[in-house]
Chains A and B, each alone.
Chain A
Amino acid sequence: MSWWEVLVQQTINGLTRGAVFALIALGYTMVYGIIELINFAHGDVFMLGLFISLAWFALLGVTTTLTGWQLLTLLPLVFVLTMLTTAALNVAIDRVAYRPLRRSTRLAPLITAIGVSFMLENVALLWKGPAPIAYPDVFPSVDILREWFGVDSAIFVTTKDMLVVGATIPLMVALHYFVSRTRWGKAMRATAQDRETAQAMGIDVERTILMTFFVGGALAGAAGLIQGMYYNIGMWWMGYQAGLRAFTAAVLGGIGSMPGAALGGLFIGFLSAWSDQYISARWTNALVFAILILVLVFRPQGLMGERSAEKI
C-alpha cells in the first residue's frame, strides 16, 4: 500500500468509527441540552443495544448472512425493534433514576447515572459472559471496488462501510427534521432553552424530557446494531469506552448542539484512526482526551456551540 492508500483507508476507518460515535453523541447532547445531566448510562444503553439486536436476530432465526428480500425486510425490522427496546430502556432509566431527582442537586443524578451504568454493565456481563462475543455476519460484505467496478486497489471499500454511512445519514436527517419541524422537536428546543418558560407556555416538560430520552435511546440502539454488524464483536465493557469518546465528541461539537455532536463524532473518529496509524494505538486515548481538555479550556462552547452568558 502506498502512503495515500493508507491515508484513504484509515480515513474510511475513521469515518465509520466516527459515524457510530456521532450517533451515541447525539443522545448525550440531547439529554445534556435538556436536563444538564451527563448521562453516564448512555454508553451502556448503546452496548446493550448491540446485545439486544443480537437477541432479536436470534429470535427471528437469523444466524447467517442475510440476502435478497430478507435483507430488505428483516434488517429494517431489527432496526426498529432494537431502537424501540433501547428507547424504552432509556425512558425507564430516566423514570426510575433521574426523574425523582429533577429538583435535587446537580451531583445526585450524576451519581445515579453512574450507578445505573454499573448495573447495566453487570447485567451484560452476566448475560453474555466476560469474554468478547462474536456477532454474526448478518450483513453481506462485498469488496465494492474490486467486485463491482473491477478496480484492483489496495483500498477496501465494502458494503459494510456503505451500511454504516447509509444507516447513519438517514437517521441524522430524520432527527434533524424531528427536532426542527415537529411539535415535539419544538417543545424539546424550548425546554432546553428555558424550562420554566416552556412550562409557562403550556409545554408538558416531563413528557418532552421523556421524548428526549426515547429518541436518544433509539439512536443508541441503532448505533449498537450498526456497531455489531460492522465490527462483528461485542463486549460488556465497550459501553464505557464508547460512551467516553462519544461524550468527548459531544463536547467538542458544543454540548447541546446536534450538528456539533455529529461533526464532533466524525472528528474523534478520524483523529483516533489516524492516531492509531501514525502515532500508536496505545497513545490514542491519551490524545483524544488531551484534545478534549484543550478544547474545553480554549473554546469551552465547543466547535459549533455558542457562548452563553451567565445570567447575573
Chain B
Amino acid sequence: MRVSRITAVAVAFLAVVVLGGSADAQQCPKGKLRLYTSWPMQGAMLPEGTGMKNGVDLAVSEVGGVVAGYCLEVVGLDDASPQTGKWDGAVEAENANKAIGDPLAIVYIGTYNSGAAKVSIPITNRAHMAQVTPANTYPGLTKKRGAAPGEPDIYRPGGFVNYFRPIPADDIQGAVGAKWAKRMGVKKVYVLNDQELYGKGIADVFEATAKKIGLPVVANEGIDWKQPDQKPVLTKIRASGADLIYLGGVIETGAQVIIRQMKEVGLVAPRTRFLGPDGLLEEELLKGATCDAALGTEMRITFAGLPFEKMRGVGAKTYETYKAKFGKEPTAYALYAAEGGRVIIDAIKRAAPAIEQAKDATEKREAVRKAIAATKNFEGINGKWSFDENGDVDYDTMSGFKVVKADGPIGCKFQFETILE
C-alpha cells in the first residue's frame, strides 16, 4: 500500500519537473546555465509574482537568451505554502535545495518575502551560489543596522557574502520616513505595526530614527490586523494627541482598515495625518481605504527608489520596454527583477573565462558570485550604483508620494511629491 503511494508521489513529482522545464533548440556552444527564481506564484501574490518573473525574462530576452556562449534558462519556482497560500519556510528550503542540487543552476533569484530569504540564504551560501533578490528589504539580511542579534553573519555559514540586493533596504526607508515626518512639521508620532517581519522591522527603524532626531514617539504598538474593527486602537491614538500615524504594514495586512476608520474617529488632517512605507504603495489600498479617507488623512508614502515615470535613462527605457513587451504596467518590484537579471548576466559575461575553467558546479557558481560582488558603477534603473561589501546597493534615493484627487474609477492616486535623502 505505502509503496504504491510513494511511487505515486514520485511519479507526480517527476511530471512536475518534466512539465516545468522546457526544452529549447537554441545554439549553446558552451552549454546551458539555469537561473532559478523563487517567490509566491499563487493567490493574492500571483500578479506581483508574475511581474517579477516577467522582469527576469525581460533581462534574459535582451541578450537573446545567450551570454558568452551559454544559454540561459529560467526555472520558476513557487515558495507559497499549501496550507496558507503565503510563503512557507519549508517550501522555500525545498526550492533552494532543488536549485543547489541542479548542476546547471548558477544563480538563485529570490525571494519576495524577507522571512523566506532567511531560510534560503544559508542554503545557497553553502553551495557558493549567488542569490539575488528583487524585493527583500529587511535590513538584517545584509547588515547590522536594524537587524536582530547575530544577523547578518548567521546567513553566511561560509563566511562570505552571496546574497545581493539591487534595492535599498528598509533601514534607509524607515529612517528617511522619520526625517520626512520631521520636515512636515509633525510634533508627535504614534507608530503602529502589523507584527510581521517587514512591518515591524520598518516601524522599529522609524521609531529609532524619530527618537534620535528629536521627534517624540508615543508608542510603537503591534496591532491585530485580522480584526475588521480598529476603532479602539484609533481612539487610543486620538487620546494620545499624536498628529501622525506611521503604519508599518502591507496591503495584505489590512492597512486599509486603519485608514478607512481614522476618519470615523475624527483622526483627519490637520489633526492627524498618515504616513506609511512602500508596502502600501498599491492602488488596491486606495480602493479599500477609499479616496475620501486617504485624502482626509493626507496620506503619504515613502518609496525605495524612484517612481517609474520619474526614471531617466536605463530606467525609463526599461519601463517602456516592459510595458511594450507585456502589455501592462510593471508591478512594484518587476523592474528590480529585471535589474537583478541584468546584474547576473553582466556578471556571467565577466566571469565567462573562469566558468569555463571551473572543474565543477561549485567553482562555476563561485566565479559568478565573485563577479556579482564585484559589480561596480552599474547602469541601473535608478542611476549608477555599485554593490558594497554587504551586497547592498550604495544609493539611497527615496521618493515621497502623496494621495491626490484624480480622474478615473478610483477617484484618487499616488502622486510623486518629493525626492527624499
The answer to whether A280 touches B265, judged by C-beta atoms less than 8 angstroms apart, is no
Listed stretches A88-96, A194-202, A231-239; interface member:
A231-239
- Output the least CB separation between A229 and chain B (Å): 11
- Tell whether A162 is near chain B: CB-to-CB under 8 Å: no
Closest chain-A Cβ to B387's Cβ sits at a distance in Å of 34
User: Looking at the complex, which one of A227, A237, A276 makes contact with B232 (CB distance below 8 Å)?
Assistant: A276
| A130: Cβ under 8 A from any B Cβ | yes
Interface bin, chain A: 35 or more
On chain A, the residues within 8 Å of B43 by CB distance are 125, 130
Band of interface residues on B: 35 or more
Q: Determine if B349 is an interface residue (Cβ-Cβ < 8 Å).
A: no
Residues of B within 8 A of A238 (CB): 226-228
Q: Which residue of A lies closest to B44 (CB)?
A: A130
Q: Mark B285-317, 1 if CB is under 8 A from A, else 0.
A: 101111010000000000000000000000000
**C-alpha gap A153/B327 in the complex (Å):** 54
The residue from B222, B223, B229, B260 contacting A134, defined by CB atoms under 8 A apart: B260
Could you say which of B4-12, B66-74, B98-106, B249-257 contacts chain A?
B249-257
A-B contacts counted at CB < 8 A amount to: 108
Flag if A14 contacts B232 (CB, 8 Å).
yes
A285 at interface, CB cutoff 8 A: yes
Question: Do the beta carbons of B261 and A233 come within 8 Å of each other?
Answer: yes
A13 to B226, Cβ gap below 8 A? no
A277 and B221 within 8 A (CB)? no
State A134–B288 Cα separation when bound (angstroms): 4
The reply on B231 being an interface residue by CB < 8 A is yes
Q: Is A131 part of the contact surface with B, judged by Cβ < 8 Å?
A: yes
Beta-carbon nearest neighbor of A1 in chain B: B239
B224 at interface (Cβ–Cβ under 8 A)?
A: yes
Contact of B228 with A227 in the complex, beta carbons under 8 Å:
yes
User: In the complex, A14→B43 CA distance in Å?
Assistant: 34
B contacts with A: majority SS = helix
Taking a contact as CB atoms closer than 8 A, the residue among B222, B228, B252 that contacts A242 in the complex is: B228
Most chain A CB within a 10 A radius of its CB, from B223, B251, B256, B288: B288
Given contacts A237-B226, A272-B232, A231 and B261 within 8 Å (CB-CB)? yes
The secondary-structure label for the interface of chain A is helix
Nearest-Cβ distance from residue B29 to partner chain A, whole angstroms? 46
Residues of A within 8 A of B254 (CB): 132, 235
**A227 and B228 alpha carbons, distance in the complex (Å):** 9
CB pair A156 B288 closer than 8 Å: no
Which chain B positions have C-beta within 8 A of A227?
Answer: 228
Residues of B within 8 A of A (CB): 43-44, 195, 221-224, 226-233, 235-236, 238-239, 251-252, 254, 256-257, 260-261, 264-266, 284-285, 287-290, 292
For the A-B complex with A6-B235, A241-B226 known, give 11 more contacts whose Cβ atoms are closer than 8 Å: A6-B239, A131-B287, A133-B288, A227-B228, A232-B261, A241-B227, A273-B231, A276-B236, A277-B236, A280-B222, A282-B222
Between A and B, 28 residue pairs with Cβ closer than 8 Å are A5-B239, A6-B235, A9-B239, A10-B232, A17-B229, A17-B232, A131-B252, A131-B284, A132-B257, A132-B288, A133-B287, A134-B287, A134-B289, A134-B290, A160-B264, A231-B260, A232-B264, A233-B288, A235-B228, A235-B257, A238-B226, A241-B226, A242-B228, A276-B232, A277-B235, A280-B221, A281-B222, A281-B223
